[in-house]
Amino acid sequence: MITKPNRVICGDSYRTLKKIPQEFINLCYLDPPFFSNRIYETVSKNGKINSFDDRWNHDFESYVDYMKNVLTECHRVLKKSGSLYLHCDWHASHYLKIELDKIFGRRNFRNEIVWRRHNAHNDTKQGSKSFGRVHDVILFYSKSKDYIWNPMYQA
């Protein structure tokens, strides 16, 4: 069980969340698979190939069920003053918002943050018959109306 405070916890979200006590943390930030049904590969500076598989056997319902379980665990481990930030894209963001509304309550939806990708491009150059997909979304929820908010200021 994870009980040490003031730390960032990284790992498989569902398995890691199961190890955290109820109402123990202040903030959940999730950057889960986006249901893109692709395999991503990058090559590190030392030549090692890092791979990430985002295929779900083309079964969207299993993806949403998995995410629902993860988001339910996030709700369980958040303190009453806690917040959740879920990073997602156009593949499933609307469906995940509906699940978050069910789990956290619509009144605890705080904001949809639009994050424009720095390397955004127009997909029509690659033959797409749609406008360019140039942003991701971060859905911001709190567990209650008494959530922690630390405003940031810049000169």
pLDDT tens digits, one per residue of 24-53:
999 999 988 888 777 878 888 888 888 777
Confidence at residue 84, expressed as pLDDT on a 0 to 100 scale: 98
Three-class DSSP category at 38: coil
Pick from 91, 90, 88: which is nearest to 100 by CA?
Answer: 88
- As a whole number, mean pLDDT of residues 129-141 equals 85
Q: How far apart are CA 56 and CA 33, in angstroms?
A: 10
Between the alpha carbon of residue 7 and those of residues 26, 42, 106, the distances in Å are 11, 28, 29
For residue range 104-124, list pLDDT tens digits in order: 999 999 999 998 876 656 666
What percent of the chain lies above the pLDDT cut of 70? Answer: 93
Q: Which token pair is 91? A: 């593949």
- Residue 16 scores a pLDDT above 80: yes
Q: How far apart are CA 145 and CA 12, in angstroms?
A: 29
pTM of the model: 0.83
Burial class (CB in 10 A: 0-12, 13-18, 19+), 69: middle
Confidence at residue 30, expressed as pLDDT on a 0 to 100 scale: 92
